[in-house]
Amino acid sequence: MPIKNRFSELLPEITEWRRDLHQHPELLFDTHRTAGFVAEKLEEFGVDELVTGIGQTGVVAVIKGRSDSKGRVIGLRADMDALPIEEATGLDYASRTPGQMHACGHDGHTAMLLGAAKYLAETRNFDGTVVLIFQPAEEGGGGGKVMVDEGMMDRWNIQEVYGMHNWPGLPLGTLAIRPGPFFAAADEFNIVVTGKGGHAAKPHETVDSTVVASHIVIALQTIVSRVVDPVENLVVSVTAVESSSKAHNVIPARVHLRGTARTMDEGVRNMAEARITQIAEGIAASFGATARVEYDRGYPVMVNHETETGHASDAATAVAGACDEAPLVMGAEDFSYMLEARPGAYILLGNGDTAPVHHPEYNFNDEAIPAGCSWWAEVVEQRMPVS
C-alpha cells in the first residue's frame, strides 16, 4: 500500500494524540478540551490562520500552499464529539469520563486530520489554500449546520469540501465511496396515544391505549412493506414504548411511542411523514382514542457530488491501489449540510474486523491512521498540484 512515508514516521505521535483524545471524550458542543488540544497542535504546526469558537466550539485553520496561481480553496472536515455510552473495552487508555466514550471513532478522525495538517504545513506542496475544519456536535447536535450557518464557507471561500469516516467491517486501510445519496436522512417521531384508563379487571370500561398503540406499531411497518416502492430505501422503527402507568392492574390512559424514519429520497421522506401521521391518527380514532403525532426532521440525506466523488476516488486509488464501491448507509451524517453548501464528497476508511460503531467495545484501529492521513493529503495535492 503506497502510504506516504511521512505518515508512517508520524504514526506513533498521531497514535498518542488519538489515545489522549480517547481518554477524554466530550459530548455535542461541549468539546472544550478537545478543541483546545486541536488548536494547540495546529499552532505548533505553524498554520497561517487559526480561529476557534466557530459553531460554538469548532476550530478552523488555514494552510497556504507554496503558490496560489488559481485561487483554489479546499476544505477538509473531521468531527470531534463522542457518545453517551459507557465504555467496555478494558483498554489502558479507555475513557476516564463515566458514561461517555469515543464509540464512533471521531477521536481517530480528529487525530488523522491533525496528522495531515502537520504534513501539509511542513511540505506545502500544493497550489492554493487548505481550510481544516474540526467540527463539534455531529452526534445529533447538527454542528455542521451551525458552522455553515455562521458563514464558514463564505468566510474562507471554501470551494470544495471532503470528509471521512472509519468503517468497521471494511478491510483495514481500504477506502470506499459512492456518488449520489450515501447516508440517509434521519427523522424522529413521537406519538402520544390517549384513551381512557381504568382497572385492568374492567377493560370494557376503558379505551385501552396499550392495545391502540400496539396496533399502531404493527401498522407503521406496512409503510415499508406496502406503501413505498420496493426499490426505494426506507426504515421506520419504533424504538421506545412508555405508558402512563407502571402498575400491573391498571390500563393506562396514555402510551408514548418514540421512533425514527430513515430515507434516501425527499419524496419518500414526505410520504413517510404523512403516512405515519395518518396511520396513528386513523387507528386511534377507530378505537375511540386519539393520537398526537410530532414529526421532527433531522439531518438531510448526505449526497456526494459526482465530480468530487471522482476526485476522492482517484486520491483513494493513489493511496490504497483501488477504491471500492461503498454500500448505502441508513445511518445519518451531518456532513450533509456542508455538502448542501458546497460540492464535495465523503469517503469510508476500513477499520478492519472490529466491533461496530456506537458499541461499548468499539475502538478506532490506529493502524488505519497512515492510510487516512495519506488520503487527506493526496486529495489536496491532486486537486491543487504545483505547476
Given a contact cutoff of 8 angstroms between Cβ atoms, the answer to whether 164 and 111 are in contact is no
Residue list, annotated binding site: 104, 106, 139, 165, 358
Each residue's pLDDT tens digit, 197-245: 999 999 999 999 999 999 999 999 999 999 999 999 999 999 999 999 9
For cell 469558537, the residue is 53
Of 332, 346, 353, 341, residue with least CA distance to 375: 346
pLDDT of residue 387: 85
Q: Which fold has domain 5-183+301-383?
A: Aminopeptidase (3.40.630)
Q: Which fold has domain 185-296?
A: Alpha-Beta Plaits (3.30.70)
**What is the percent of the chain where pLDDT is above 90?**
99
The pLDDT confidence band at residue 1, using thresholds 50, 70 and 90, is very low
pLDDT of residue 2: 65
Candidates 26, 81, 87, 160; catalytic one = 81
Each residue's pLDDT tens digit, 82-118: 999 999 999 999 999 999 999 999 999 999 999 999 9
Length of the chain equals: 387
User: Is the CA virtual torsion 116, 19, 98, 350 positive or negative?
Assistant: positive
Q: Reply yes or no on whether the pLDDT at 259 is more than 90.
A: yes
Beta strands 344-350 and 49-54: pairing type? unpaired
- What integer best gives the mean pLDDT of the chain? 97
Q: What angle do CA 296, 301, 302 make, to 5 degrees?
A: 135
81 is catalytic: yes
Q: How would DSSP label each residue in 196-247? A: B-EETT-GGGSB-HHHHHHHHHHHHTHIIIIIS-TTS-EEEEEEEEEES---
User: Is the CA virtual torsion 364, 369, 375, 376 positive or negative?
Assistant: positive
Each residue's pLDDT tens digit, 277-331: 999 999 999 999 999 999 999 999 999 999 999 999 999 999 999 999 999 999 9
Q: Reply yes or no on whether the pLDDT at 3 is more than 80.
A: no
Each residue's pLDDT tens digit, 38-71: 999 999 999 999 999 999 999 999 999 999 999 9
Instruction: Give residue limits of the domains in the chain.
Output: 5-183+301-383, 185-296
- What is the mean predicted confidence (pLDDT) over 141-149? 98
Interatomic CA distance for residues 210 and 203, integer angstroms? 11
Given a contact cutoff of 8 angstroms between Cβ atoms, the answer to whether 75 and 120 are in contact is no
- What is the mean predicted confidence (pLDDT) over 347-370? 98
Residue list, annotated binding site for Mn(2+): 104, 106, 139, 165, 358
pLDDT of residue 277: 98
- What is the mean predicted confidence (pLDDT) over 147-153? 98
Candidates 26, 79, 127, 138; catalytic one = 138
Of 139, 70, 16, 63, residue with least CA distance to 376: 63
Instruction: Please name the residue ranges forming H helices in the chain.
Output: 5-23, 32-45, 106-123, 143-149, 152-155, 209-220, 222, 266-286, 306-320, 335-341, 369-383
pLDDT of residue 4: 81
Of 183, 226, 190, residue with least CA distance to 340: 183
Rg (CA), the chain: 24
Interatomic CA distance for residues 33 and 31, integer angstroms? 6
138 is catalytic: yes
- What is the mean predicted confidence (pLDDT) over 233-262? 97
